[in-house]
Amino acid sequence: MDRCIRTRFAPSPTGYMHIGNLRTALYEYLIAKSQGGKFILRIEDTDQGRLVEGATDVIYKTLEMTGLKHDEGPDIGGEYGPYVQSERMGMYMDYAKQLVEKGEAYYCFCTKERLESLKESNAEGAAFAKYDRHCLGLSAEEVQAKLDAGEPFVIRQKMPDSGTTAFHDVVYGDITVENAELDDQILMKADGFPTYNFANVVDDHLMNITHVVRGSEYLSSTPKYNLLYQAFGWEAPVYVHLPAVMRDAHHKLSKRHGDKSFEDLVNEGYLVEAIVNYIALLGWSPADNTEIFSLKELEETFDIAGLSKSPSIFDIKKLTWMNGEYMKAMDFEKFFTLAEPKLAAALEGTDVDLRKIAALLQKRLETWNDIPAMVGFFKELPEYGTELYTHKKMKTNDEIALASLEAAVPVLEGLADWNETAIHDALIALAGKMEIKNGQLLWPVRTALSGEPTSPGGAIELADILGKEETLRRMQKGNAMLKG
């Protein structure tokens, strides 16, 4: 086998890209790229009943958005194609028949009704029912007669009767199972399509895949895969099974239960770079305590030894924090370009300076979708109560607030120039003249201008953005409110 590291992301086009799927793709990408290898995209569409129209486009779009650029795949080709399983159909039956000839597999003609009766009569319950090998004893002549008669069939893998099968997993270590526990799994279905368990083994071998990365739910199937590799005389890949991504200590993430997909997170205002960074840390730890990584830095830093076998809990608060850190560190021009559409929509009909507002938001924003709620007061002063003027830390109350606003209105009214410097100098001088702390003047002004308990800027920045006329109008409204 060519030992250049080759990993594959092999999703089924059955809908959205959930977080566990994206994490698998990311780790496969990083395992390959951190060692100068190749990352392959293969579409596994043999389960025709579960296919969702447009889902393949979601896969391409997600990989493109996240920067997980594949080196081979259905859209760009490569020397191991085709890269869509349904386009590889001719080969699977041939490989299955090879196993039949070797005595490692056999034809099964049992009807659905008979298989259902086996489940119903199983003392341990239907989930534990094993096929009873009813067709294993058919002679070659009996098998041929049934095939000639056109009877429907599947091809089953013949598991060893005794002994054990062992394999090594990078994350979980050495695992051994009793062969007696293994069911004679179906390799080729009655419709002529291979099962996932068979097709992925054949394709991984033919595509020279060196590292197979998948969820830990496939650990129990891996002995069967290993036995297939042995039956063909092929070299098995390195196995990397990943623990589940959990919603909490007891429940896996599930779209069915309202958990977010990658697309949901993007639509809710999270940066793609932050999502990728956060997902990389769901089951992998760097050698130091670094938390913020670009994709390029992940490629350089990633070490397969850092993978954990403990399930990871998806913490939306941690992702939100990380998203905010990305926004703070972003070049302002890029930040403004991305924020402007949300700002323009939220403040439609006003003539406020969106760049100035964006500058206030950058150090405070956590997601793009927070913008409307944070800037709405620039368009329209909300209804608010006088309790907002009381602030323990600023040492303000209604009485101080009223005195501050009454004194500030004529000072601001008399300003010839309206800019941050002029507003700052006038208000700070007034606070000194009144012999009060700056906050005792600035908090009431800020409250009157925003009508909110918090705002992305202080009194001076808000006054500058709102303009002289609107600033004075809002302050006079605050005055009237405080007077009762």
DSSP conformational letter for 243: P
Measured between alpha carbons, how far is 230 from 189 in angstroms, rounded to an integer? 22
**Residue with the two structure tokens 């769901």:** 282
37: which 2 tokens?
A: 């290898």
Q: Determine which one of 119, 255, 379, 433 is catalytic.
A: 255
Measured between alpha carbons, how far is 231 from 218 in angstroms, rounded to an integer? 20
Amino acid at 432: G
Bond into 311 cis (ω within 30): no
Active site includes 392? Answer: no
Which residues, including other chains, have CB under 8 Å from residue 133's CB and lie 6 or more apart?
184
Measured between alpha carbons, how far is 73 from 17 in angstroms, rounded to an integer? 18
**Helix (H) or strand (E) segment spanning residue 177:** strand 173-178
Each residue of 176-196: b (16+ CB within 10 Å) or e? ebeeeebebbbbbbeeebbbb
Instruction: Give the angle subtended at the CA of 238 by the CAs of 236 and 239, to the nearest 5°.
Output: 105
Of 319, 327, 392, 393, whose CA–CA distance to 360 is shortest?
A: 327
Q: What angle separates helix 398-413 from helix 420-434, to the nearest 10 degrees?
A: 130
484: which 2 tokens?
A: 């009762």
Measured between alpha carbons, how far is 366 from 240 in angstroms, rounded to an integer? 34
Measured between alpha carbons, how far is 475 from 484 in angstroms, rounded to an integer? 14
Measured between alpha carbons, how far is 202 from 219 in angstroms, rounded to an integer? 18
Active site residue ranges: 255
